[in-house]
Amino acid sequence: MLLDVRNLQVKVEDKPILKGIDLKVDAGEVHAIMGPNGSGKSTLARALSGHPEYTVTGGEALYEGRDLLAMDPDERAREGVFMAFQYPVEIAGVNNAYFLKAALNAKRKHHGEPELDAVEFMQLVREKSKLLEIDQTMLSRAVNEGFSGGEKKRNEIFQMALLQPKLAILDETDSGLDIDALKIVAGGVNAMRAPERAIIVVTHYQRLLDYIVPDFVHVLSAGRIVKSGGKELALELEQKGYGWIEAA
Amino acid sequence: MSTSTETIEELATREYKYGFVTDVEAETVPKGLSEEIVRLISQKKHEPEWLLEWRLKAYRLWLTMKEPTWQNVKYDPIDYQDIVYYSAPKKKKALNSIDEVDPEVKRTFDKLGIPLEEQKLLAGVAVDAVFDSVSVATTFREKLAKLGIIFMSFSEAVKEHPELVKKYLGSVVPYTDNFFATLNSAVFSDGSFVYVPKGVRCPMELSTYFRINAKDTGQFERTLIIADEGAQVSYLEGCTAPMRDENQLHAAVVELVAHDDATIKYSTIQNWYPGDKNGKGGIYNFVTKRGLAAGRRSKITWTQVETGSAITWKYPGCILQGDGSIGEFYSVATTNNWQQADTGTKMIHLGKNTRSTIVSKGISAGHGQNTYRGMVRVGKKATGARNYSQCDSLLIGDKCGAHTFPYLEIRNTTARVEHEASTSKIGEDQIFYCRQRGLSTEDAVNMIVSGFCKEVFRELPMEFAVEAQKLLSVSLEGSVG
């Protein structure tokens, strides 16, 4: 078991959001977390990655059998947990390639691997940037600064491709993407599917799941998983809407 | 992150209390300021009569002046009679080996990447003959002398090149300039003198020498740099190491003169003792720096990275007198804990088609208060003058402050003046984003801060840009998380 979430409860500014989530994710699987606005989808993603504004009030989360919630966010990242942000932040003046190199080397160092020098890093970058049709100029610009919405999301997936996480959590990666960008992003994610890696896709819409086909679909409502199933559950939701679940 | 620079500095100062020998040598004059003291200083330095007269004029004027209060800083009144205005280079108690240096101080040295031999020198360890600073200095000086470049201490210049000193001393910052500059004029101890002759491009940064030798120039430094027609020189002032310094008040004066087509680049990295975490102690850095772009197409660039001192009060400015002359000011000022900085620049456009650029980056953390104060003045005859100013403030935490006071005085309708200002906070979101990619909080803050300062750092000579970046990270250590 890569990730084992048991009865996870999370609050934001004293407001309970997650009221007991159980979720088991094995390596090689793709899980989709769906649900209406305010159901707690993004809260789950952020709590798992350790965002300081999300306070865990109960339950546990085991990652490779270890207490995930006891780890600092950066330790989680170095241990292979990656979150693609819904709203990637801009960091003025910090070169995107420089940032990525620092991130990759922090992880390599953590795992006792030699750090990559600039030449080795750029080789890796060239290889991965083709995958997501990343324009080289995007790498020399400041992190996310002046990026369009689509560029930001592509940059997130590009980072994921470089960092090769074991557990990738995509927080509403499809929001704000047009259909072409969506296809590129989905193509990048699909290329990342591997027996040793799990992917959790948080999304409001079924649309993304046409391109990233999940093994499991979970529907969140008011802080609880109210229904789980296979990929067909997403289609059913598309037809009947979230009202169907909430009423049930 | 339990040890911050402040703690290191604190340790360094504490060690001073017990570790240094009390200076009871005959070379020290009694505390306080009087005409007698001014005469005594001049006499001890074997100065010519004209210089003594100049000092005395300054002293008499100073007596009638009031300490300025308009700056946005707070401090207890300074007792000017409680300061020793002259003492021979202090004999610090020599330590026998680097092992005797406080491990915390050593750690900071290592972090800054200062070579071992230099560490010894800075920490006051008896240095063996291999690294004799005097001989190093001499080697540099001989190389420069071949090109006709004069680079020596101010006192030496007074003796060896009195005509140059007499011509330029006070020509940019007159002894009447302001309270602290006037005080400096009366009692200045030493400093540096640079003259680069016509058409000569100084082949090295005038800095290594300075770094090794300036440690005892004291609290009232006076620097004078002259670039003759077509000459070019880059000068770096300051020490990037956490040097032990027991002086409370630093009132230095720097004057630059650039003739036709000459370029002077003056870079400062200032890391004086900032006081402890509770705001106790620390240096008052009250400095007057001004450059006169006298000649046509001359250019003066000030770059400063100010991370130390309890209070920083300085406005390196340019008087753009020559037609087509250029003035630039690039500044990073950080205030952490209880530090205060009121800094900026003055760009005085007098000549035609003069241009100036101001890029100021203020970083506040802890209870730090950071003020940018900048003046752009365009005179009546300065047709076609242009200025671009950009002032950015970065806040770390919610107890610090950033303030911006731009002053514009435009007397010529053809002038074009632009001012941009921004204030941002290092967001939890930015730090979290970096951490989610595997960077530690400390690395995240360093990365965000150096990104913020990029436009200034790239103006620094390469190796100092690296040092400045390291220094910044040391001085902001412990400010987050």
pLDDT digits (tens, 9 = 90+) for B351-393: 999 999 999 988 888 888 888 888 999 999 999 999 999 998 8
Q: Which of A202-211, B89-98, B162-171, B469-478 has the highest mean pLDDT?
A: B162-171
Quote the pLDDT of residue B270. 76
Asked if A50 has any chain B CB less than 8 Å from its own CB, the reply is yes
pLDDT band at residue B108 using 50, 70 and 90 as cut-offs = low
Asked if B437 has any chain A CB less than 8 Å from its own CB, the reply is yes
Residue with tokens 């006298």: B294
Distance from CA of A30 to the nearest CA of B (A): 21
The reply to whether residue A94 touches residue B428, judged by beta carbons under 8 angstroms, is: no
| Mean pLDDT, range A153-159, rounded to an integer | 89
Quote the pLDDT of residue A248. 52
The reply to whether residue B452 touches residue A93, judged by beta carbons under 8 angstroms, is: yes
pLDDT of A111 higher than 50: yes
Tell me the H-state helices in B333-440. 428-436
DSSP three-state, residue B127: coil
Contacts with A88 from chain B: Cβ below 8 Å: 433
Rounded Cα distance between B184 and B187, Å, is: 5
Rounded Cα distance between B342 and B403, Å, is: 9
Residue with tokens 């086909």: A213
Nearest to B435 among A77, A110, A143 (CB): A77
Rounded Cα distance between B140 and B419, Å, is: 42
| B326 touches B356 (CB < 8 A) | yes
| Single-letter code of the amino acid located at A39 | S
Q: What pairing do the DSSP bridges indicate for beta strands B192-196 and B222-227?
A: parallel
More confident: A100 or B307: A100
Nearest to A78 among B430, B438, B455 (CB): B438
As a whole number of Å, the end-to-end CA separation of chain A is 30
Rounded Cα distance between B469 and A79, Å, is: 29
The reply to whether residue A106 touches residue B438, judged by beta carbons under 8 angstroms, is: yes
Distance from CA of A18 to the nearest CA of B (A): 21
pLDDT per position as a tens digit, B36-53: 888 988 888 889 999 999
Rounded Cα distance between B196 and B257, Å, is: 11
The reply to whether residue A94 touches residue B450, judged by beta carbons under 8 angstroms, is: yes
Nearest to A74 among B427, B429, B438 (CB): B438
Asked if A94 has any chain B CB less than 8 Å from its own CB, the reply is yes
| B274 touches B9 (CB < 8 A) | yes
The reply to whether residue A92 touches residue B439, judged by beta carbons under 8 angstroms, is: no
Distance from CA of B265 to the nearest CA of A (A): 24
What pairs with residue B394 in β-bridges? B363, B424
What is the 8-class DSSP label of residue B94?
Answer: P
Asked if B443 has any chain A CB less than 8 Å from its own CB, the reply is yes
Nearest to A94 among B427, B435, B451 (CB): B451
Query: In terms of C-beta distances under 8 Å and separation of at least 24 residues, what long-range contacts does B90-93 make, across chains too?
Result: B90/B20, B90/B23, B90/B216, B91/B21, B91/B23, B91/B25, B92/B19, B92/B20, B92/B21, B92/B124, B93/B19, B93/B20, B93/B21, B93/B124
Contacts with B435 from chain A: Cβ below 8 Å: 50, 72-74, 77
Nearest to B438 among A77, A89, A93 (CB): A77
Contacts with B393 from chain A: Cβ below 8 Å: none
Q: Tell me how many residue pairs between chain A and chain B have CB atoms under 8 A apart.
A: 75
Asked if A161 has any chain B CB less than 8 Å from its own CB, the reply is no
Asked if A166 has any chain B CB less than 8 Å from its own CB, the reply is no
Contacts with A52 from chain B: Cβ below 8 Å: 428, 432
CB atoms within 10 A of CB B266: 22
* Residue whose C-alpha is closest to residue A101's, from B79, B462, B439: B439
Q: CA quadruple B366, B306, B442, B242: dihedral positive or negative?
A: negative
- CA B356 to centroid of chain Cα atoms: 21
Contacts with A50 from chain B: Cβ below 8 Å: 435-436
Which residue, among B434, B456, B459, would best test binding to A if mutated, counting the most A CBs under 10 Å from its CB? B434
| A205 touches A234 (CB < 8 A) | no
Rounded Cα distance between B40 and B51, Å, is: 13
Rounded Cα distance between A198 and A187, Å, is: 16
Asked if A113 has any chain B CB less than 8 Å from its own CB, the reply is no
| B283 touches B250 (CB < 8 A) | yes
pLDDT of A85 higher than 90: yes
Task: Please give the angle made by the CA atoms of B118, B120 and B124, to the nearest 5 degrees.
Answer: 120
Distance from CA of A240 to the nearest CA of B (A): 36
Q: CA quadruple B82, B83, B89, B90: dihedral positive or negative?
A: positive
Quote the pLDDT of residue A15. 93
Rounded Cα distance between B292 and B260, Å, is: 11
Give the pair of three-digit tokens for residue B184. 């400096």
Nearest to A102 among B441, B443, B452 (CB): B443
| B371 touches B403 (CB < 8 A) | yes
Distance from CA of A78 to the nearest CA of B (A): 5
CA distances from A248 to A140, A239, A243 (A): 51, 15, 8
CB atoms within 10 A of CB B153: 16
| Mean pLDDT, range B99-107, rounded to an integer | 62
pLDDT of A225 higher than 80: yes
pLDDT per position as a tens digit, A172-216: 988 888 888 888 889 889 999 999 999 999 998 888 898 999 999
What pairs with residue B249 in β-bridges? B284
The reply to whether residue A163 touches residue B437, judged by beta carbons under 8 angstroms, is: yes
Rounded Cα distance between A114 and A116, Å, is: 6
| B286 touches B315 (CB < 8 A) | no
Q: What pairing do the DSSP bridges indicate for beta strands A3-12 and A54-63?
A: antiparallel
The reply to whether residue A74 touches residue B440, judged by beta carbons under 8 angstroms, is: yes
pLDDT of B467 higher than 50: yes
Backbone conformation region of residue B74, classed left if phi is above 0, alpha if psi is from -120 to 50, else beta: beta
DSSP string over B371-395: EEEEEEEE-TT-TT-EEEEEEEEEE
Asked if A72 has any chain B CB less than 8 Å from its own CB, the reply is yes
Residues 204-233 of A with CB under 8 A from B: none
Contacts with B440 from chain A: Cβ below 8 Å: 74, 106
Quote the pLDDT of residue B20. 30
Rounded Cα distance between B150 and B142, Å, is: 10
- ipTM metric: 0.94
| B350 touches B323 (CB < 8 A) | no
The reply to whether residue B452 touches residue A52, judged by beta carbons under 8 angstroms, is: no
Rounded Cα distance between A84 and A77, Å, is: 12
Helix (H) or strand (E) holding A189: helix A179-192
Q: What pairing do the DSSP bridges indicate for beta strands A224-229 and A216-221?
A: antiparallel
| Mean pLDDT, range B127-131, rounded to an integer | 36
pLDDT of B12 higher than 50: no
Cβ-based burial of B1 (10 A; exposed 0-12, middle 13-18, buried ≥19): exposed
The reply to whether residue B434 touches residue A91, judged by beta carbons under 8 angstroms, is: yes
Buried b (16+ CB within 10 A) or exposed e, B464-478: bbebbbbbbbbbbbb
Contacts with A107 from chain B: Cβ below 8 Å: 438
